[in-house]
Amino acid sequence: MPINTIKVIRLRRLFICSVLGLLLLSVGCALKTKEEPKPKSVSVPSDEMISIPWNEGWSLAVSITPGIPVELRGNDEVMYEISGDTSCLIVYSEEKLESMSKGGTRKYAEELFYWNPFFGNSTLQPTEIGTSWIRIVRKEEGHTTGLVLIKIFSSAGKTADGVGGVTFKADIIASLEFPRQNGAYQNISDQQLETIESTYTN
């Protein structure tokens, strides 16, 4: 076989292999970047998962609570994962207040925590505090079944005691339940939760 003919055959083979490689790479990327199905959710009353027992304008100087209180609700099988501005969250441990991060951010129904950005930072001024977010994810049997987003913001005015200054209030931005589909829990990834959260926080 002439040398030129051999070169042409080799070039054709190389071209075919290159095209097949590009096709396989494109298919792989398409499968990898395929969006996950959007979780099915419904809005529910927030008191199915949490309550805020006192939310009348919190101030470190005059309020009777150590922070804005958030109480978790549900049965004994329910667990909650707390995230967001957890550095501002405190809990009682052996009758003493401590940062939530010290004992872990996984909590259970009937537990109570507080939002207080001044804890451990006595030099912080109220005017230096921006908007704060808390994400509370409900877990049942290891599956995500609910989401609550809390926005905490400051305002200039008077507390419930009539004292002027900067106060803080909590606003429940979203309270969602992820119901079972055909009797089975939905598989909801952290990325999907972040996408849902961004629709409320951005």
Per-residue pLDDT tens digits of the chain, which is 202 residues long: 555 555 445 556 655 655 555 555 554 544 444 566 789 999 999 999 999 999 988 988 877 899 999 999 999 889 999 999 999 999 999 889 999 988 899 999 999 999 999 998 989 999 899 999 999 999 999 999 999 999 999 987 655 555 567 899 999 999 999 999 999 999 999 999 999 999 998 8
Which residue is associated with the tokens 């900067």? 166
Nearest to 54 by CA among 173, 167, 201, 175: 167
3-state secondary structure at position 42:
strand
CA distances from 28 to 20, 23, 33, 37 (A): 12, 9, 9, 18
pTM: 0.79
3-state secondary structure of 102: helix
- In angstroms, the CA 37 to CA 188 distance is 9
- The ranges assigned to domains in the chain are 1-34, 42-201
Which 3 state secondary structure label does DSSP give 192?
A: helix
Q: Which helix (H) or strand (E) holds 23?
A: helix 3-33
Q: Which residue has the tokens 């079944």?
A: 145
Q: Is 195 helix (H, G, I), strand (E, B) or coil?
A: helix
